């Protein structure tokens, strides 16, 4: 056996490097699976906020015009910057406040 000389044998062994690589792999796998559902929660929050924005625009339109309008009227009069991607305004046949309903097939249809 050779005697250890600090100047000639500085560094890590192959086993030590493999152990570090395995530990980093395990930690990265944990992080990837823990942040996996964050996008779904954000999508649901954005959908709820979109619905609240459309409902607020409906009430502002009613306060200004004295009647409820549809999505196109909200955009034309400037109460919304553009039509909603997730919700539509469904007129009430009785003439009352319209319903804000999710668009079928969109990501937040269940919210």
Phi-psi region of 72 (alpha: psi -120 to 50; beta: other; left: phi over 0): alpha
| pLDDT tens-digit readout, 87-96 | 888 877 777 7
Q: Show me where the domains of the chain are located.
A: 40-102
Q: Decide if pLDDT at 10 tops 80.
A: no
H or E element in which residue 26 lies: helix 14-34
Would you place residue 14 in the very low, low, confident or very high pLDDT band (cuts 50, 70, 90)?
A: very high
Q: Which of 10-14, 34-38, 69-73, 87-91 shows the lowest mean pLDDT across its residues?
A: 34-38
How many whole angstroms from its chain centre is CA 36? 12
For the chain, the straight-line distance linking the first and the last C-alpha, in angstroms and rounded, comes to: 71
Q: Find out whether 50 and 44 touch, Cβ atoms under 8 Å.
A: no
């Amino acid at each position: 056996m050779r005697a250890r000389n600090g100047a000639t044998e500085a560094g890590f062994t192959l086993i030590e490097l493999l152990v570090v690589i395995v530990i980093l792999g395990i930690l990265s796998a944990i992080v990837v699976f823990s942040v996996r559902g964050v996008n779904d929660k954000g999508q649901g929050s954005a959908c709820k906020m979109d619905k609240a924005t459309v409902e607020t625009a409906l009430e502002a339109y009613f306060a200004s015009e004295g009647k409820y309008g549809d999505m196109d009227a909200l955009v034309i009069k400037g109460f919304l910057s553009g039509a909603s991607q997730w919700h539509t305004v469904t007129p009430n046949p009785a003439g009352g406040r319209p319903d804000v309903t999710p668009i079928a097939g969109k990501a937040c249809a269940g919210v």
